[in-house]
């Protein structure tokens, strides 16, 4: 679950969303959303998966056979992760390309200002980003086809701690850059005048995205959990490490953004402009260190991205297998083709298709918005309503307390949050965003 949660959402998406939607004040909203809305929903999703022992597609209908709409919801919980995977693989491809650039020591050979400008040239090229995206998607499909098993699990177990250590090193370095203090202030001194009604939706959306909620993944992974695992402790542990990781990533990126004179609201390319800047500055005094750290850093980012993209594809694969009995390799080819096609359009939206807009957004931004500010919220809402209202309280208690053996004291609080606070917050956000 941590492998699925910790990924590009923390390193790539969090810093630029913070930059666009309100800095330090946005971070407070984000922390609040995670603790009082997302964590209870996380617990609901795990409950649903573990109790039904089914993937996201079949979980509701297994627990409430004959209930109307369960299949449709199940179907949506397969479509949503595939939409996410399509544009996620674009950023996965960018990371892969930047790993290549690190291996070629490009960041340490050039001036910091030159390397941070490389990104613009790279994404406006039609071919290179698209090929890298397909390569990333192909790697995801290959792992899913051969089974996730011990290889990738073991790898993520070691790579996530390495990523933590590296991000701390980068935080320290980034804070020491000249001009960085303004970035630290930007993150830690909330200025509430920077918040807009949109910030609330984006805070919740970011927190769902980062915890892999409303995308079928946690329900599917929950179904693999043992009956004596402590559900609340596992969920809270995942949420806290994910939060901590995002904060560290923000602390590594934002001071460097200010030091480099880049606009914090620069959008999806933010980290690809700042991280190379950090490495290039590091290399002025210590070229070998700069080169080595940049290679390790991008390897780990690619791995963190892969463990998340695998979890996204696995939901679709489980569906194809459960519903049509499709073989894994056939399913993976099909998913590769679908996501590759949508992903290619997303990739091209930074180059030749830059002029195409849907509801005022470029193709990439539109899919990202559609998934994380609309579909994920909707699916998460339906899930908590199902767990809060369709399942009996005794069933939920039985699952969360492992038959009354653990978490008895926290159960009433968790239940109240998941039954009332989480759905009401999501509905309030929908109303402010779409109706008012
Ligand atoms: N949580 C992942 C990340 O932060 C992305 C993701 C979203 C994965 C939804 C699975 C489902 O990178």
Q: Which single residue is written with the structure tokens 């790279």?
A: 122
pLDDT of 150 higher than 80: no
In whole angstroms, how large is the CA radius of gyration of the chain? 21
SS3 49: helix
Ligand 1 centroid – CA 3 distance (Å): 9
Helix, strand, or coil (residue 362): strand
For ligand 1, say whether the CB of 215 is within 6 Å of any of its atoms: yes
Supply the residue whose CA is at minimum distance from atom 4 of ligand 1: 9
Cβ pair 285, 112 in contact under 8 A: no
Phi and psi for 216 in degrees, rounded to 5?
A: 80, -15
pLDDT at 352 over 70: yes
What separation in angstroms does the CA of 296 have from each of 103, 251, 302? 10, 19, 10
Share of the chain above pLDDT 90, in %: 80
Q: Is the CB of 9 under 6 A from ligand 1?
A: yes
pLDDT surpasses 90 at 282: no
The closest alpha carbon to 310, from 88, 75, 128, 97, belongs to 88
With beta carbons less than 8 A apart as the criterion, state whether 218 and 45 touch: yes
- Distance spanning both ends of the chain, measured CA to CA: 36
Pocket test for ligand 1, best of 210, 368, 376, 379 (most atoms within 8 A of CB): 210
Strands (E), 185-335: none
Q: Which domains does the chain have, with CATH numbers?
A: 2-434 (1.20.1740)
Extract the tokens encoding 7. Answer: 């990924």
Distance CA 4, CA 375 (A): 18
pLDDT at residue number 9: 96
Mutate to test the pocket of ligand 1, among 308, 316, 370 (most ligand atoms within 8 A of CB): 308
Q: What is the mean pLDDT of residues 356-369?
A: 94
Extract the tokens encoding 94: 């960018």
d(CA 68, CA 64): 9
Residue 250 in tokens: 């923000």
Q: Is the pLDDT of residue 231 over 70?
A: yes
4 within ligand 1 shell (Cβ under 6 A): yes
Q: Is the CB of 238 under 6 A from ligand 1?
A: no
Nearest-atom index, ligand 1, CA of 308: 8
Q: How far is CA 393 from the centre of its chain?
A: 31
Q: Whose CA is nearest to atom 9 of ligand 1?
A: 212
Phi, psi angle pair for 289, to nearest 5°: -65, -45
As a whole number, the mean pLDDT across the chain is 93
Is the Cβ–Cβ distance between 126 and 348 less than 8 Å?
Answer: yes
Residue 110 confidence (pLDDT) above 70: yes
| Ligand 1 center to 179 CA (angstroms) | 33
Where do the H-state alpha helices sit in 106-196?
106-109, 112-124, 127-146, 149-175, 181-188
285 alpha carbon – ligand 1 mean position (Å)? 36
Within 10 A of 360 (CB to CB), how many other CB atoms are there?
7
Residues 132, 305: Cα–Cα separation, whole Å = 14
Q: What one-character DSSP code corresponds to residue 64? A: S
List pLDDT tens digits, range 58-97.
999 999 999 999 999 999 999 999 999 999 999 999 999 9
Band of the pLDDT at 152, cuts 50, 70, 90? low
Sole residue written with tokens 């769902």: 208
pTM, to two decimals: 0.94
Q: Do residues 80 and 214 make contact, with C-beta atoms less than 8 angstroms apart?
A: yes
CB proximity list for 131: less than 8 A, separation 6 or greater: 93
The Cα–Cα gap between 48 and 62 comes to 10
Give CA 292 to chain center in angstroms: 26
- DSSP letter at 298 equals H
State pLDDT tens for residues 308-327: 999 999 999 989 998 999 99
Q: Output the pLDDT for position 46.
A: 98
- Verify whether ligand 1 is closer than 6 Å to residue 220 (CB atom): no
Stretch 293-306: mean pLDDT: 89
Tokens of 68: 């109307």
Distance 49 CA to ligand 1 centre (A): 17
For residue 309, which atom of ligand 1 is closest to its CA? Answer: 8
User: How many angstroms separate the CA atoms of 290 and 279, rounded?
Assistant: 5
22, 37 contact by CB (below 8 A): no
Mean pLDDT over 12-18 rounds to: 96
pLDDT at 258: 94
The verdict on the CB of residue 311 being under 6 Å from ligand 1 is: yes
Q: What is the pLDDT of residue 164?
A: 86
- C-alpha dist (Å) from residue 173 to 114, 176, 260, 422: 20, 5, 13, 38
Report CA(209)–ligand 1 centroid distance (Å). 5
Instruction: Name the band, by pLDDT with cuts 50, 70 and 90, for residue 149.
Output: low
User: Rounded to the nearest 5 degrees, what angle is found at the Cα of 19, between the Cα atoms of 14 and 21?
Assistant: 90
What pLDDT is recorded for position 219?
96
Give, for ligand 1, the residue of 311, 314, 316 to mutate: max count of ligand atoms closer than 8 Å to Cβ. Answer: 311
**pLDDT reading at 26 higher than 90:** yes
pLDDT for the residue numbered 300: 82
The reported pLDDT for the residue numbered 364 is 96
- Indicate whether 435 pLDDT > 80: no
pLDDT at 120 over 90: yes
- At 156 the pLDDT is 72
């Amino acid at each position: 679950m941590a492998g699925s949660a910790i990924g590009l959402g923390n390193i790539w998406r969090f810093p630029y969303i913070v930059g666009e939607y309100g800095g330090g004040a946005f971070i407070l909203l984000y922390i609040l959303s995670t603790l009082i809305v997302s964590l209870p929903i996380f617990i609901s999703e795990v409950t649903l998966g573990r109790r039904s022992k089914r993937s996201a597609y079949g979980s509701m209908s297994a627990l409430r056979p004959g209930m109307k709409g369960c299949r449709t919801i199940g179907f949506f919980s397969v479509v949503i992760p595939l939409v996410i995977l399509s544009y996620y693989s674009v950023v996965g491809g960018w990371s892969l390309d930047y790993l290549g650039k690190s291996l070629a020591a490009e960041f340490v050979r050039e001036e910091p200002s030159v390397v941070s400008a490389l990104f613009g040239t790279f994404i406006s090229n039609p071919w290179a980003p698209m090929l890298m995206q397909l390569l990333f998607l192909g790697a995801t499909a290959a792992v899913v086809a051969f089974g996730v098993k011990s290889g990738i699990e073991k790898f993520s177990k070691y790579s996530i701690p390495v990523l933590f250590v590296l991000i701390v090193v980068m935080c320290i370095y980034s804070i020491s850059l000249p001009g960085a203090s303004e970035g630290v202030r930007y993150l830690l001194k909330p200025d509430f005048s920077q918040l807009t009604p949109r910030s609330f939706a984006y805070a919740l959306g970011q927190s769902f995205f980062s915890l892999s909620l409303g995308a079928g993944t946690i329900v599917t992974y929950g179904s693999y959990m043992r009956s004596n695992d402590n559900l609340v402790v596992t969920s809270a542990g995942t949420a806290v490490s994910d939060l901590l990781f995002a904060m560290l990533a923000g602390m590594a990126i934002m001071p460097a953004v200010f030091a480099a004179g880049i606009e914090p609201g620069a959008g999806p390319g933010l980290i690809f402009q700042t991280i190379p800047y950090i490495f290039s500055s590091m290399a002025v005094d210590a070229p070998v260190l700069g080169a080595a750290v940049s290679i390790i850093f991008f390897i780990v980012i690619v791995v963190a991205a892969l463990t998340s993209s695998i979890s996204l594809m696995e939901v679709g694969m489980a569906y194809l297998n459960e519903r049509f009995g499709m073989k894994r390799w056939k399913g993976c080819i099909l998913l590769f083709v679908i996501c590759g096609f949508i992903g290619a359009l997303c990739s091209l939206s930074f180059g030749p298709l830059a002029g195409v807009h849907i509801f005022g957004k470029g193709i990439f931004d539109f899919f990202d918005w559609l998934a994380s500010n609309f579909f994920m919220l909707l699916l998460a809402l339906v899930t908590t309503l199902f767990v809060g209202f369709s399942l009996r309280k005794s069933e939920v208690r039985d699952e969360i307390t492992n038959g009354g053996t653990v978490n008895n004291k926290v159960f009433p609080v968790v239940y109240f949050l998941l039954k009332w606070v989480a759905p009401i917050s999501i509905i309030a956000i929908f109303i402010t965003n779409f109706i008012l």
